[in-house]
Amino acid sequence: MTSSQSERQQTEERCAIAAIGRKCFGCGVCACICPRALLSIRLNKDGFFMPRATNEPQCIHCNLCLSVCPCTDDHPETPEDRIPPEAWSAESRRESVRDASAAGGIARELAEEWTARGGKVCEAVFNPRENVLEHLVLQTPEELLRGCGAKYLQSYTLPGFSHLNGHEPFLVIGTPCQIDGLRRYLRKRHWENHFVLVDFFCRGVPSMRLWLKFSRFYRKKRQSLQDVAWQEKTDGKNEDRIVFTGTDGRKTAAGTRRNELFFGFYRDDLCLAPACYDLCKYKAAASAADLRLGEFRSPDPQNRTGTSGSVLVLTERGKLALENTAGRLKRKRRTLDELLAGQMTGNAVRPRDNAVFRLFLRSAMPLNLMLKWKQWTRLLLYFPQELLRRCRRRN
């Protein structure tokens, strides 16, 4: 066989989904739909979930995986019962729920109401054994408690998504790209009518390599991790602060400097998934979900409580789910502009040193050295530019 013949044969043998490559959002629905169960979702070398074919020659080239992939389209999938967006600020009536949750506890109240009516919830919870965030199907109040709070990791969706079905009502909460993939999957299966899909204003997901490096310090000290929270309530406001809880119930909060070893890289957009920089099509009201949630930042600084959330109602089904939960929430109608103020409206800008940082993450370099490197490069790369800009503005 000539080399061109063997190349052609290899290309023909490859699953169609291999063409997606680094554009992948990691939603996992290609693996859920493959009739041959050939696809598994694994972390790639940069620490992001993407599909890998376990036995490519068995691929029957049905292209079902591509047909549900959200990367193949320039826009989010449009739900059939789409309505002009309705904007609300809202928060739970229960202080305990507001304290334990992000964005006013709206997601928790929606989930509790949904399960009280006999439905099931699929959302991301932290798996302490694997040190990973994963989607699971939840139903009892104790299970729902595990889903509370902001979580700054990309989730592994298969443990939850593979248990969805077309005969039970499900409320699914995920990132906008995960929900877009799921919408396409449900439509293909004709299951859409049993589901309410909820996403949130998303600024991007960091590499799992950052998390694994960061969490090593805790795991070295104590092996038995039970839970992790990424936000803590300080003076009534949610602060980004990582708190580890051991199986003995003891909490270890990362100090300000150690916190910086995670949030310092995340907030500077140094370690986001490639798609978050170049391909995200889910900002503002662009969504395949029925409801979109987020923090609400009042335009009036005097009224900023730090506990209120925002809800964007995008479909009739979303509207009904919110109406059913109305008794649990204090809410107020807002304009779309009020709701979007303070949210990211464009994609994260890829820093010039992103490629170097990816290499560092793959290496054994400790995070404190990487932080020093970041501070120096910020000084050398960006400070002269900033100075020049200010001088020009003054002239």
Footprint of ligand SF4 (CB under 6 A)? 15-17, 20, 24-30, 34-36, 38-39, 50-51, 59-65, 68-71, 175-177, 181, 202, 204-205, 273, 275-276, 280, 282
Q: Pick between residue 15 and residue 136 the one whose CB is nearest to ligand SF4.
A: 15
Report the candidate in 134, 141, 130, 53 with the shortest Cα–Cα distance to residue 96. Answer: 141
Contacts of 49 (CB under 8 A, 6+ apart): 24, 26, 28, 41, 42, 43, 154, 156, 157
**In the complex, least distance from residue 338 CB atom to ligand SF4, rounded to whole angstroms:** 22
**In the complex, least distance from residue 108 CB atom to ligand SF4, rounded to whole angstroms:** 21
CA quadruple 354, 359, 362, 368: dihedral positive or negative? Answer: negative
Structure-block tokens of residue 295: 């923090």
**In the complex, least distance from residue 347 CB atom to ligand SF4, rounded to whole angstroms:** 7
Cα(365)–Cα(87) distance, integer angstroms: 45
**In the complex, least distance from residue 224 CB atom to ligand SF4, rounded to whole angstroms:** 31
Q: Which helix (H) or strand (E) holds 26?
A: none
SS3 230: strand
Are the C-beta atoms of 280 and 345 separated by less than 8 Å? no
Are the C-beta atoms of 294 and 309 separated by less than 8 Å? yes
Q: Pick between residue 164 and residue 276 the one whose CB is nearest to ligand SF4.
A: 276
Q: Pick between residue 83 and residue 286 the one whose CB is nearest to ligand SF4.
A: 286
Q: Pick between residue 118 and residue 346 the one whose CB is nearest to ligand SF4.
A: 346
**In the complex, least distance from residue 196 CB atom to ligand SF4, rounded to whole angstroms:** 18
**In the complex, least distance from residue 31 CB atom to ligand SF4, rounded to whole angstroms:** 7
Q: Pick between residue 39 and residue 225 the one whose CB is nearest to ligand SF4.
A: 39
What does each C-alpha distance from 113 to 61, 122, 124, 154 come to in angstroms?
42, 14, 18, 26
CB atoms within 10 A of CB 110: 25
Q: Pick between residue 59 and residue 144 the one whose CB is nearest to ligand SF4.
A: 59
Q: Pick between residue 133 and residue 273 the one whose CB is nearest to ligand SF4.
A: 273
Are the C-beta atoms of 160 and 137 separated by less than 8 Å? yes
**In the complex, least distance from residue 187 CB atom to ligand SF4, rounded to whole angstroms:** 13
Placement of tokens 């600024």 in the chain: 203
Are the C-beta atoms of 188 and 281 separated by less than 8 Å? no
